[in-house]
Amino acid sequence: MKHFTNVKDLGNLQQAVKEALEIKKNRFAYKHLGENKTLLMVFFNSSLRTRLSTQKAGMNLGMNTIVLDINQGAWKLETERGVIMDGDKPEHILEAIPVMGCYCDVIGVRAFAQFEDKAYDYNETIINQFIKHSGKPVFSMEAATGHPLQAFADLITIEEYKKTKRPKVVLTWAPHPRALPQAVPNSFADFMNEADVDFVITHPKGYELADEFVRGARVEYDQMKAFENADFIYAKSWAAYQDPNYGKILSTDRSWTVSARQMAVTRNAYFMHCLPVRRNMIVTDDVIESPQSIVIPEAANREISAQWVIKKIIEQ
């Protein structure tokens, strides 16, 4: 694997999950692979899990790891070509990227959607510039349209907890005070569409995700109906994708907050969320604290998905 930005880069998904579960049993077995190799993690946005789990994954593989927070200590970067740089940005990303590439063997990039220009976001302008100009393998740590390390960890978690061969998995929108990217639900849909699960998406009208991620998935606008007999509930807030509302909040309806009322119609479903989560907006205290909540083991699996991906990259 050269670069990792979406589910297709993993190859055979079932095989990838199987190998990831093997890594989990013995995560230090490949310590020789990363000797004298350097992992650079570049963050344009905040992170807790991705930062820690990806660094840990690199260390498990024997790599040296460097973390760069672009907005804390690095020069502010201009990202548009052709701009007369007389403003507040002293460096252009077209120099910064190849320079970063000089100091490492693998680069992880976190660059969220900016919600200023839909084409700029959905063309994955930032991470594609890293792929084009760094000269090094690049993997997504949440880019504008996807968060595949998260979705891979989610799939590993579902594999570990499922009680039936083909569980019903429901992705539900939930309210949030700020406009959030579609990256997490996009990637979750992308992975679930490839996995052996009965996948349903539920959200208020207007929150339809891009066709390239939803593909044939069932969309049910009645949240209670969607939750019936579910084995896994995956909650996430996102801002509108469809024009003319791209990046906007269309609903703050807290009847969509996941609570005991909706969980009651499921098949004693597990509750999942990528975190960070706003309690009593996305999910009530009692649901996230219930024995059915698997948000912590889900987060723990981020180390495993990252290690699988970095291992595949450095094995080449």
Q: Which residues bind ligand AN0 (CB under 6 A)?
A: 142, 180-181, 183-184, 274, 276
**CA dihedral in degrees (159, 218, 139, 29; nearest 10)?**
10
Residue number with the smallest Cβ distance to ligand CP = 50
34 binds, among ligand CP, ligand AN0, none (CB under 5 to 8 A by kind): none
Paired with 279 in beta bridges are 283
DSSP letter string, 142-198: S-SS--HHHHHHHHHHHHHH-SSSS-EEEEEE---SS---SHHHHHHHHHHHHSSSE
Q: How far is CA 149 from the centre of its chain?
A: 5
Q: Which of 274, 295, 304, 314 binds ligand CP (CB under 6 A)?
A: 274
CA distances from 232 to 1, 20, 198, 249, 271 (A): 30, 21, 10, 26, 6
48 binds, among ligand CP, ligand AN0, none (CB under 5 to 8 A by kind): ligand CP
Q: Which is nearer to ligand CP, 151 or 313 (CB)?
A: 151
Cα 128-14-113 angle, rounded to 5 deg: 25
Q: Which is nearer to ligand CP, 133 or 157 (CB)?
A: 157
Give min distance, CB of 77 to ligand AN0, in A. Answer: 20
180 binds, among ligand AN0, ligand CP, none (CB under 5 to 8 A by kind): ligand AN0
> How far is the C-alpha of 209 from the C-alpha of 207, rounded, in Å?
6
Give min distance, CB of 2 to ligand AN0, in A. Answer: 25
Q: Which is nearer to ligand AN0, 142 or 303 (CB)?
A: 142
Give min distance, CB of 101 to ligand AN0, in A. Answer: 26
What are phi and psi for residue 53, nearest 5 degrees?
A: -70, -35
> How far is the C-alpha of 139 from the C-alpha of 5, rounded, in Å?
6
217 binds, among ligand AN0, ligand CP, none (CB under 5 to 8 A by kind): none
What are phi and psi for residue 33, nearest 5 degrees?
A: -60, -35
154 binds, among ligand CP, ligand AN0, none (CB under 5 to 8 A by kind): none
301 binds ligand CP (CB under 6 A): no
275 binds ligand CP (CB under 6 A): yes
Scan residues 143-172 and list those touching ligand CP (CB under 6 A).
150
Give min distance, CB of 201 to ligand CP, in A. Answer: 19
Q: Which is nearer to ligand AN0, 206 or 276 (CB)?
A: 276
195-208 CB burial, b ≥16 within 10 A, e <16: bebebbbbbbeebe
- Please say whether the beta carbons of 271 and 287 come within 8 A: yes
Stretch near ligand CP under the rule CB under 6 A, chosen from 9-17, 170-178, 226-234, 274-282 = 274-282
Tokens of 105: 């063997």
The DSSP symbol for 258 reads B
For ligand CP, how many residues bind (rule: CB under 6 A)? 9
176 binds ligand CP (CB under 6 A): no
47 binds ligand CP (CB under 6 A): yes
Q: Which parts of this chain interact with ligand CP (CB under 6 A)?
A: 47-50, 142, 150, 274-276
